[in-house]
Each structure stands twice: as structure tokens, then as C-alpha cells.
């Protein structure tokens, strides 16, 4: 039973409040993400290249853990304090972490990142689950609502690196040294805006996401805060000590544990719910593959841009490597309305693809992107061993098209298929699968670059492998889609 919300631009009014809250949180998240590895090398290794390995490992672990923490955050919302309070506590903890990383001490910096991880775990899955709660079970606008919400995510991701990147190079005394402290400060402030936005706006939700009567006791919030304080040093230890391989094992164990818990709940609720959980878990596995290759954006594709792409523009001006990171969110914000319209148009004609087919399209879109790279690396390499500029841009656009078929649909799917008592936890599972993809992506990119750095040949073989795996998985998903649909029992 969904409250009777006023409608704004065709959607329940609180959608726009959640949109802006998430916009500012992503502003904070992506505003500082680009600076992390650069800052570690500059601040803790005096700019020496020997710090790059440590910086990359820390960055990889940070990203994997930030998404894995969502499992715990989702559970806290479902079972302990409800969604609204989890989001508020998460926002406070995350801001604290962002201000901590400004301090020039390596241990406090890592503790700050651990704090961001814990806070984000409480925030990110739960705000996504809340979007689903604005729509009734059979409301066909739900997928479109999630696509709009996803635009908010990417609008934040697009704007913030531009703002903080500009600040870092403008407000500095020594041209070689960027002002990273200011980047972290801006992120922290962005997170405070997110907190205030939700604090003021949450009344619009008309009680949705409030703690249930058993969860209402305020002492529970204190316990959760205590839990955060205990969790932060643990996260610190994992981030500082576990390598990518150990982390991979830990994430896999977490994923298996989560799957079992969801299945137990599914079995408890009967055959339909059990099958829906199965369907959701199968999709999660495909999601890992999508992000494993998509997230090379921050690793392999960056080295490709740096070493193998001809970035010389008119008048001798060189396109900055970092700017490629804005291509995907820009494409996303521009393309999302069209994809949303396309689903609506197909829906009216009873042609809208099913959830697994949309996922299949996502994987195939990602696969096609790699064909472009294979073509460029085998046929367009010039005498300087460089490829033109446009293939890499096209790669980002194609991957984004794939992302739009898959990622907002995934969020929406979780809110439809998960057992009601564990929606937040299942949303955590969705983000955990992203986290596993991120971690594998780092391991894979390490192989592509090898010991000597990326070459045309190593890139070509790595990207050919990526293509075949994605194309195979996409095709398989298309084939088994009817089976998965049967497991979903009418959920579309």
C-alpha cells in the first residue's frame, strides 16, 4: 500500500527529493574518487612513482568494499532501524569520513576511507530501495522512475569531477601540486548538502521508510552508531592488509552467505518467493560480468588513453586523459530520456523486453563496445603506434547504452523480486555484485598491463577476451530468458 503522493512530472513527488539527495551523495563520491590515487602518491610518497602500486591497490580495495558494505547497510535498514534512519546515519558517517581524509596522516587517511565505506554502506542501497517503495506493485512507471533516479546519480558523477578538478588546479600555489585537500572538503560539503536535503525532504515520504513499531526505539540508532565505530577499524584492516585475491575470496564468501540467507527467507515464504530469489541471484551473477569489463574505464581504458590514443586536438591542444571519465556520465544523462521513452513506446505495443532480455542487451552493448576497440587496435594503429581519438569515445557511449539497459533495471528488479522483509539486504547484494565486478576488473586490468605496461598487443588480446566473454554471456542470457521469466512468476 503506497501513500497517495502528489504527482510531479508524471512521478510521485518524493522521487525528485530522492533524486537530489542521491545527486549530492554521488557528487561527494565521484568528486573525490578521481583524486584518490593521485593524492596518495603525492602526499604519502612525495610524488614518487613507487607509490603507484600501493595507491592502485588501496583504490581497488576501497571501491570493492564501498559496494560490499551495502550488504550490511541493507540489513541494518531491514531489520534494525528502517530505511530513513539508515540513510541519515549513513550520511553523517560518510561526511565525517570525507572530512577525515583531509588530514595529512596516512593512517587517519585510511581510517577516513574506511569511514566513508561504512557510511556509504548505510546510505547507498537504502536510498535506492526507497525509490521502489514509491510505486505500487503493478505500477508500470517503476522502471522509468529508476531510470530517472539513475540520471540523478550520473548528473552528480558528471558535474563533481569537473568542479573539484577545476578547484584543485586553480587554488594552488605550486602549479605542479594540486590542491587535493580542497577536493575532499568540497566532497564533504556535498555530502552535508545531501544530508540536509533528505532531513528536510523526508516528510514528503509520508511515513514510507520510517522504522516499524519494533524498530522505533531510538537506542537502536545508538547501537548502529556503535556498530559503525567497531566496523571502521575492521574495514581498515581489510583495506590495508588484504590483497585483491584475498579480498576476492572474502567477497565471494559474503556473496554465498547472502544468497543462502535470501534463499532461506524465500523458502520460508513459499515456492513463488523462492523462485523469485533464484531468478534474482542468477541475474546478479551476470551483473558481475557486466561491471568487471565496464569498470576498466578507470584502469585499462585510462592507460589506453594515456599511451595509445592520439589526444592531439586542433591547435596542438591535448585532450586531458581524465576528461574521458566524464564521457560516460555525460552520455548517460543525454541518452537516459531516450531509453526511457523507448521502453514506454515498446510497452504500449506490448513489445517491451523482459528483465533478463534487457540484461542481455546490456551485456551485448558492452560487448559491442569492445569490437570497436578490437577494430581500432588491429586496423587503425598509425606509425606512432597510436589509435585515433573517436573509438574510445564511441566505446564509452556504447557501454553507457548497455548500462542503461541493465543498471536502473537491476535496481528496479531487486525491489520487485526480493522478499519484502529483506529488500534492503537484497539491494546490498546487487551492489555487492558490482563490487565483485570492480575487484575482478582490477585483477583483469593488471593482467592486461602485465609487468611492462600496456602495449597495442596486450590491449588487443585483453579486449578480445572481454568481447567474447560478454557476447557469450549476453547470448546465453537471451537463450535462458524464458526460463528466468518463469522463475519470476509474472514480475515484469
Angstrom distance (rounded) from CA 238 to CA 318: 39
- Least spacing, CB of residue 291 vs ligand GLN, in Å: 5
For ligand GLN, which is the closer residue by CB, 211 or 429? 429
- Least spacing, CB of residue 431 vs ligand GLN, in Å: 6
For ligand GLN, which is the closer residue by CB, 41 or 66? 66
Angstrom distance (rounded) from CA 310 to CA 322: 14
Pure H helices in 242-326: 244-269, 271-294, 300-307
- Least spacing, CB of residue 287 vs ligand GLN, in Å: 8
For ligand GLN, which is the closer residue by CB, 221 or 427? 427
Residues in the chain, how many? 492
Phi-psi region of 4 (alpha: psi -120 to 50; beta: other; left: phi over 0): beta
Angstrom distance (rounded) from CA 442 to CA 266: 33
Angstrom distance (rounded) from CA 37 to CA 34: 7
For ligand GLN, which is the closer residue by CB, 56 or 407? 407
Which distant-in-sequence residues (6+ apart) come within 8 Å of 276 by Cβ? Answer: 266, 417, 418, 487, 488, 489, 491
- Least spacing, CB of residue 306 vs ligand GLN, in Å: 22
- Least spacing, CB of residue 128 vs ligand GLN, in Å: 8
- Least spacing, CB of residue 184 vs ligand GLN, in Å: 18
Angstrom distance (rounded) from CA 422 to CA 259: 12
Point out the residue whose Cβ comes nearest to ligand GLN.
434
For ligand GLN, which is the closer residue by CB, 211 or 428? 428
- Dihedral angle sign, alpha carbons of residues 220, 221, 222, 223: positive
Q: What is the contact surface with ligand GLN in residues (CB under 6 A)?
A: 26, 153, 157, 291, 407, 431, 434
Which helix (DSSP H) or strand (DSSP E) does residue 342 occupy? Answer: helix 327-348
- Least spacing, CB of residue 122 vs ligand GLN, in Å: 15
Residue 330: other Cβ atoms inside 10 A:
19
For ligand GLN, which is the closer residue by CB, 44 or 324? 324
For ligand GLN, which is the closer residue by CB, 37 or 399? 399
Amino acid at each position: 500500500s503506497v501513500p497517495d503522493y502528489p504527482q510531479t512530472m508524471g512521478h510521485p513527488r518524493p522521487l525528485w527529493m530522492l533524486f537530489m539527495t542521491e545527486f549530492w551523495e554521488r557528487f561527494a563520491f565521484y568528486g573525490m574518487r578521481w583524486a584518490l590515487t593521485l593524492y596518495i602518491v603525492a602526499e604519502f610518497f612525495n610524488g614518487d612513482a613507487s607509490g603507484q602500486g600501493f595507491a592502485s591497490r588501496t583504490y581497488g580495495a576501497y571501491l570493492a568494499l564501498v559496494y560490499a558494505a551495502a550488504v550490511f547497510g541493507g540489513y541494518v535498514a531491514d531489520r534494525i532501524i528502517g530505511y530513513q534512519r539508515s540513510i541519515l546515519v549513513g550520511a553523517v558517517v560518510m561526511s565525517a569520513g570525507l572530512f577525515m581524509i583531509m588530514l595529512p596522516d596516512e593512517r587517519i587517511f585510511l581510517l577516513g576511507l574506511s569511514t566513508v565505506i561504512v557510511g556509504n554502506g548505510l546510505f547507498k542501497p537504502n536510498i535506492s530501495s526507497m525509490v521502489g517503495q514509491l510505486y505500487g506493485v503493478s505500477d508500470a512507471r517503476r522502471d522509468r522512475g529508476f531510470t530517472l533516479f539513475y540520471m540523478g546519480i550520473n548528473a552528480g558523477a558528471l558535474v563533481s569531477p569537473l568542479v573539484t578538478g577545476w578547484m584543485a588546479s586553480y587554488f594552488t600555489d605550486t602549479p605542479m601540486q594540486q590542491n587535493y585537500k580542497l577536493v575532499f572538503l568540497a566532497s564533504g560539503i556535498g555530502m552535508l548538502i545531501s544530508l540536509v536535503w533528505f532531513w528536510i525532504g523526508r516528510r514528503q515520504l509520508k511515513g514510507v521508510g520510517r522504522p516499524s513499531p519494533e524498530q522505533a526505539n531510538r537506542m537502536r540508532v545508538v547501537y548502529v552508531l556503535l556498530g559503525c565505530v567497531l566496523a571502521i577499524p575492521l574495514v581498515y584492516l581489510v583495506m590495508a592488509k588484504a590483497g585483491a585475491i584475498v579480498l576476492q575470496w572474502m567477497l565471494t564468501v559474503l556473496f554465498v552467505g547472502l544468497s543462502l540467507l535470501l534463499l532461506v527467507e524465500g523458502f520460508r515464504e513459499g515456492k513463488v518467493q523462492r523462485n523469485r530469489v533464484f531468478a534474482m541471484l542468477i541475474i546478479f551473477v551476470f551483473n558481475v560480468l557486466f561491471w568487471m569489463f565496464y569498470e576498466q574505464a578507470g584502469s585499462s581504458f585510462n592507460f589506453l588513453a594515456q599511451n595509445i590514443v592520439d589526444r592531439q586536438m586542433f591547435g596542438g591542444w591535448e585532450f586531458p586523459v581524465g576528461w574521458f571519465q566524464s564521457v560516460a556520465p555525460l552520455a548517460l544523462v543525454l541518452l537516459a530520456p531516450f531509453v526511457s521513452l523507448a521502453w514506454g513506446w515498446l510497452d504500449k505495443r506490448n513489445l517491451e523486453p523482459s528483465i533478463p532480455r534487457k540484461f542481455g542487451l546490456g551485456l551485448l552493448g558492452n560487448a559491442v563496445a569492445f569490437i570497436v576497440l578490437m577494430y581500432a587496435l588491429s586496423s587503425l594503429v598509425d606509425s606512432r603506434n597510436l589509435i585515433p581519438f573517436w573509438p574510445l569515445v564511441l566505446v564509452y557511449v556504447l557501454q553507457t547504452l548497455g548500462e542503461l539497459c541493465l543498471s536502473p533495471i537491476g535496481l528496479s528488479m531487486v525491489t520487485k523480486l526480493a522478499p519484502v522483509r529483506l529488500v534492503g539486504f537484497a539491494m546490498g547484494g546487487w551492489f555487492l555484485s558490482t563490487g565483485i565486478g570492480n575487484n575482478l576488473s582490477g585483477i583483469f586490468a593488471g593482467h592486461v598491463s602485465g609487468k611492462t605496461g600496456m602495449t597495442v598487443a596486450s590491449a588487443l588480446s585483453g579486449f578480445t577476451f572481454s568481447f567474447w566473454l560478454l557476447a557469450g554471456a549476453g547470448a546465453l542470457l537471451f537463450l535462458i530468458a524464458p526460463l528466468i521469466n518463469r522463475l519470476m512468476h509474472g514480475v515484469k
